[in-house]
Amino acid sequence: MHDIALLVGYGAAAVNPYLALDTVTSLRADRARYVQALEDGLLKVMSKNGISTVQSYRGAQIFEAVGLDAELVARWFTGTPTRIGGIGLAEPGDEARVRHARGFAPGADGLPVGGLYRWRRDGELHKWNPATVATLQDAVRRADRTRFDEFERLCDDEERALVTLRGLWTIDEPAAVAIPLEEVEPVAAIVARFVTGAMSFGSISAEAHETLAIAMNRLGGRSNSGEGGEEAHRFEVDANGDSRRSAIKQIASGRFGVTAHYLVNADDLQIKIAQGAKPGEGGQLPGAKIDERIAKARSSTPGVTLISPPPHHDIYSIEDLAQLVYDLTAVNPRARVSVKLVSEAGVGTIAAGVAKTHAACVVIAGYEGGTGAAPLSSLKHAGLPWELGLAEAQHVLVENRLRDRVRLQVDGGLRTSRDVIVAALLGGEEFGMATASLVATGCVMLRKCHLNTCSVGIATQDPALRAKYTGTAEDVVTYFTFVAEGVRRHLARLGARTLGELVGHADRLRVRPLAHAKAARLDFRGVRGVPAHHVALPRSFARAQPWDLADHLDHELLRRADATISGGAPVAIALPVQNSHRAVGTLLSGEIARRTGARGLPDGAITVALAGSAGQSLGAFLVSGVTLALAGDANDYVGKGMSGGRIVVTPPAGARFAPESNVIIGNVALYGATGGELFANGLAGERFAVRNSGARAVVEGIGDHGCEYMTGGVVVVLGPVGRNFAAGMSGGTAYVFDPAQTVRALTNMDLVELGAIGDDSDAWLVRELIAEHVRRTRSPLGGRLLDHWEAMASRFVKVLPTDYKRVLAARRARPASAVHLPVAG
Amino acid sequence: MGKVGGFIAWERIVPGKRPVGERLADWREVTVDEDPAETTRQAGRCMDCGIPFCHQGCPLGNPIPEFADLVWQGRWSEAYRRLAASNEMPEMTGRLCPAPCESACVLAIAPAELRALPTGEAGGVPSLVLPGAVTIEALEKAIAERAFAEGWVVPRPPRVRTGKRVAVVGSGLAGLAAAARLNRAGHVAVVYEAAARPGGLLRYGIPDFKLEKHVLDRRLAVLEAEGVEIRCGVTVGAPDGPSWEQLRAEHDAVIVATGAPRARELDVPGRDLGGAVLAMDYLTEPRRSSVPPAASHDVRGKHVIVLGGGDIGSDCLGTALRQGAASVVQIELQPAPPPDRSPANAWPAWPLVFRTSSSQEEGGVREFAFRTTHLEGQDGRLVALHGTRLDSGAAVRLPCDALILALGFTGPTATPPGVALDERGNIATDASYATSLPGLYGIGDVHRGASLIVWALAEGRDAAIAVDAALRR
Ligand SMILES: Cc1cc2nc3c(=O)[nH]c(=O)nc-3n(C[C@H](O)[C@H](O)[C@H](O)COP(=O)(O)OP(=O)(O)OC[C@H]3O[C@@H](n4cnc5c(N)ncnc54)[C@H](O)[C@@H]3O)c2cc1C
Ligand code: SF4
Ligand code: SF4
Residue pLDDT, tens place only, A47-95: 777 787 888 899 888 888 888 998 999 998 888 988 888 888 888 898 8
Longest dimension (CA), chain A: 93
Confidence label for B197 from pLDDT (cuts 50, 70 and 90):
very high
Arithmetic mean of pLDDT, A275-295: 68
Chain B residue numbers touching A117 (CB-CB < 8 A): 50
Span from the CA of B202 to the centroid of ligand 1 (angstroms): 7
Strand partners, A365: A342, A411
Q: Over pLDDT 70: what percentage of chain A? A: 93
Output the CA B430–ligand 1 centroid distance in Å: 22
User: DSSP letters of A152-174?
Assistant: HHHHHHHHHTTTSSGGGEEE---
The HSE-up count of residue B93 (CA atoms within 13 Å, CB side) is 33
DSSP string, B145-202: HHHHHHT-------SS--S-EEEEE--SHHHHHHHHHHHHTT-EEEEEESSSSS-GGG
Residue A378: the pLDDT is 57
Residue A818 has pLDDT above 60, yes or no: no
Q: Which residue in A has a C-alpha nearest to residue B156's C-alpha?
A: A107
A606-662, pLDDT tens digit by residue? 999 999 999 999 999 999 999 999 999 999 999 999 999 999 999 998 888 999 999
Find the mean pLDDT for residues A341-360. Answer: 91
B85 lies within 8 A of chain A by CB: yes
Under an 8 A CB cutoff, do A118 and B52 touch?
yes
**d(Cα A213, Cα B31) in Å, to the nearest integer?**
50
**Contact across the interface for B49 and A107, Cβ inside 8 Å:** no
Pairwise CB contact (< 8 Å): A447 & B50: yes
Residue nearest to atom 8 of ligand 3 (CA): B46
Rg, Å, chain B Cα set? 23
- Could you give the percent of chain A with pLDDT greater than 90? 59
Can you give the pLDDT at residue A64? Answer: 86
CB-CB neighbours of B74 under 10 Å: 11
Angle value at C-alpha A188, between A183 and A193, nearest 5 degrees: 105
- Mean pLDDT over A774-781 rounds to 96
For residue range B80-132, what is the model confidence (pLDDT) as tens digits? 999 999 999 999 999 999 999 999 999 988 644 333 333 333 333 233 445 68
Report pLDDT for B121: 38
Atom of ligand 2 minimally distant from the CA of B93: 1
Task: Identify the pLDDT of residue B223.
Answer: 98
Question: Which whole number is the average pLDDT over B372-400?
Answer: 96
Interval between CA A88 and ligand 2 midpoint (Å)? 43
Classify residue A531 by burial, with Cβ atoms within 10 Å: 0-12, 13-18, 19+. exposed
Q: Which of A121, A127, A147 to mutate to test the interface with B (most CBs of B within 10 A)?
A: A121
Is the CB of B51 less than 8 angstroms away from the CB of A442?
A: no
| Whether pLDDT at A413 is above 90 | no
Helix A130-141 and helix A145-160, axial crossing angle in degrees, nearest 10: 160
Q: Which of B8, B10, B51 to mutate to test the interface with A (most CBs of A within 10 A)?
A: B51
B99 lines ligand 2 (CB under 6 A): yes
Residue A13 in contact with partner chain B when CB distance is under 8 A = no
Mean pLDDT of A206-211: 93
* Subunit contact B50:A451, Cβ cutoff 8 A: no
Q: Does the C-beta of B171 come closer than 6 Å to ligand 1?
A: yes
Please give the mean pLDDT across all residues of chain A: 88
CB of B349 less than 8 A from some CB of A: yes
Q: Which residue has the higher pLDDT, A527 or B24?
A: B24
Of B57, B106, B349, the CB nearest to A444: B106
Cα separation, B386 vs B374, whole angstroms:
5
What is the identity of the amino acid at A53?
T
The pLDDT of A783-791, averaged and rounded, is 94
> What predicted TM-score, i.e. pTM, was given to this entire model?
0.88
Ligand 2 proximity of B93 Cβ (cutoff 6 Å): yes
Q: How far is the CA of B15 from the centre of ligand 3 (A)?
A: 19
Q: How far is the CA of B90 from the centre of ligand 2 (A)?
A: 8
Ligand 1 centroid – CA B201 distance (Å)? 4
CA distance B182 to chain A (A): 9
Tell me how many degrees the CA angle A559-A562-A567 measures, rounded to the nearest 5. Answer: 165
> Measuring CA to CA, how many Å separate A85 from each of A88, A384, A512?
9, 15, 16
- Give the number of whichever ligand sits closest to the CA of residue B284: 1
A116 in contact with chain B, both atoms CB, cutoff 8 A: no
A458 min Cα distance to partner chain B (Å): 13
Mean pLDDT of the region A778-782: 96
Regarding the beta carbon of B166 and ligand 3, being less than 6 Å apart is answered no
Cβ distance A446 to B109 under 8 Å?
Answer: no
CA B225 to ligand 2 center in whole angstroms: 26
Tell whether the model's pLDDT for residue A500 goes beyond 60.
yes
Which of B136, B350, B452 has the most ligand 2 atoms within 8 A of CB, as the residue to mutate?
A: B136
What number is the ipTM of this complex?
0.84
Closest approach of chain B CAs to the CA of A367, in angstroms?
17
Q: Which ligand is nearest to the CA of B139?
A: 2
Of the partner residues A106, A446, A464, the one whose CB lies closest to the CB of residue B160: A106
Interchain proximity B4–A451, CB inside 8 Å: yes
> What would the mean pLDDT of A455-480 be, rounded to a whole number?
88
Alpha carbon of A669 to ligand 1 centroid (Å): 78
Side-chain-facing half-sphere of A725: CA atoms under 13 Å: 27
Is cis: bond before B348, omega within 30 of 0? yes
Q: Is the pLDDT of residue A278 over 90?
A: no
Whether the pLDDT of residue A700 is over 90: the answer is yes
- Ligand 2: which of B14, B46, B55, B60 to mutate, most ligand atoms within 8 Å of CB? B60
For A550-579, the pLDDT digits (tens) are 999 999 999 999 999 999 999 999 999 999
Q: How confident is the model at residue B380 (pLDDT cuts 50, 70, 90)?
A: very high
User: Sorting pLDDT into bands at 50, 70 and 90, what band is A289?
Assistant: confident
Asked whether residue A377 carries a pLDDT value surpassing 60, the answer given is no
pLDDT band at B289 (very low <50, low <70, confident <90, very high): very low
Task: Please give the full DSSP string across B62-112, using - where no structure is assigned.
Answer: --HHHHHHHHHTT-HHHHHHHHHHH-S-HHHHHHH---HHHHHSGGG--TT
Of A130, A138, A465, the CB nearest to B346: A138
Query: Is A448 an 8 Å CB contact of chain B?
Result: yes
Name the residue of chain B whose CA is nearest to A463's CA.
B8
The pLDDT of residue A351: 95
CA distance A130 to chain B (A): 6
Burial of B196 (0-12, 13-18, 19+ CB in 10 A): exposed
Residue B458 CA from chain centroid, whole number: 13
**CA-based nearest distance B193→chain A, Å:** 25
- Determine whether the interchain pair A110/B348 forms a contact, defined as Cβ–Cβ distance below 8 Å: no
Does A468 touch chain B if contact means CB atoms closer than 8 Å? yes
Distance between CA atoms of residues A309 and A19, nearest Å: 36
Q: Which segment of A261-270, A287-296, A483-492, B64-73 scores lowest on mean pLDDT?
A: A287-296
pLDDT digits (tens, 9 = 90+) for B130-141: 568 999 999 999
Please report the pLDDT score of residue A804 as a whole number.
86
Q: What confidence tier does A375 reach under pLDDT thresholds 50, 70, 90?
A: low
- Mean pLDDT throughout A589-593? 97
Is B26's pLDDT higher than 70? yes
SS3 B328: strand
For residue A294, the model assigns a pLDDT of 84
